[in-house]
Amino acid sequence: MEEVYLETTARELLRDAYDLHIHSAPSHFPRSADDLEVMQQAAAAGMKGICIKSHYEPTGARAMLLNRMHASSGTTAYGSVVLNHTVGGLNVYAVHSALHLGASIVYMPTRDAENSLRYGDMPGDFFSRPGITILDEMGKIKREVYDILDLVKEHNAALATGHLGTDESIYLCREGVRRGVRMILTHPDWERTVVPLETQKELADAGVWIEKCWNVVAEKCCSMEQLAYGIRQLGPQRCFLSSDMGKKGFDLPVHGMLRFLQGLLRYGIPKSDLARMARQNPGLVLGLTV
């Protein structure tokens, strides 16, 4: 009986929800679904929106095509850009271009971040490269990062920390908030980007959006119980839920979101809090009026 309630309630919560962290094909890495399939699955679930992410190319134009093809679905696709080497790293011109094509989220380096590469290559990496850091030799934020912050604010987009190290992420989030930028602390429970819970709370209180991902549970970096505990400590006000799914061999994004919602319900997160973190807060992250 409980399982039926959990599944029914999760499906209800998924209606009008967003998933702002989806890895779909075409991609340099094996994916479980392509853009069209992800969009169709989200629309069938009654979701409000999805954001597609590629480590090595902007996805704003892909989102435009999806929206044209699914104009009557009630589901909107959003694009993003990740500042890895293939777009020139911390390249303000790449940010200009991506935002002009409608990117809603700009990510700091992920696979090519100096911090991420300290742990070694991620599965599928196919070239050698130096790591990218947002800090100069004096430990200060580079000038181009400030230019990127200003551009993101100008275009009413959000800036995510990607796979930066803990100290870099904290520094960047504080500077971003100070300059009036919507900031996202990217999956702070993942093994390469762990941020202590007390620091997550400090950043949330300062106005940073804290991303909570199903992927960290799927990859066994964090248990559902631990994730639910963290959400209770932070409160629902500044958290949002995403799947970070798309990797071949793992859940499809929609299925990941359903399992995530069921798991959090099972560990006592109230339905009203889940609705806020799955529906209202992601809309605010995107700068929408909700």
* Entry field: residues in the chain: 290
Q: What is the pLDDT of residue 119?
A: 97
Q: What is the pLDDT of residue 1?
A: 60
Helix (H) or strand (E) holding 283: helix 281-285
**Residue from 72, 7, 1 nearest 40 by CA:** 72
Q: Per DSSP, what are the bridge partners of residue 34? A: 25
Architecture of domain 2-285: Alpha-Beta Barrel (3.20)
**Residue from 253, 255, 256, 290 nearest 275 by CA:** 290
Q: What is the pLDDT of residue 289?
A: 80
Per-residue pLDDT of the chain (290 residues; tens, 9 = 90+): 688 999 999 999 999 999 999 999 999 999 999 999 999 999 999 999 999 999 999 999 999 999 999 999 999 999 999 999 999 999 999 999 999 999 999 999 999 999 999 999 999 999 999 999 999 999 999 999 999 999 999 999 999 999 999 999 999 999 999 999 999 999 999 999 999 999 999 999 999 999 999 999 999 999 999 999 999 999 999 999 999 999 999 999 999 999 999 999 999 999 999 999 999 999 999 999 86
Amino acid found at 148: I
Q: What is the pLDDT of residue 68?
A: 97
**Phi, psi angle pair for 223, to nearest 5°:** -85, 160
How do the domains of the chain map onto residue ranges? 2-285
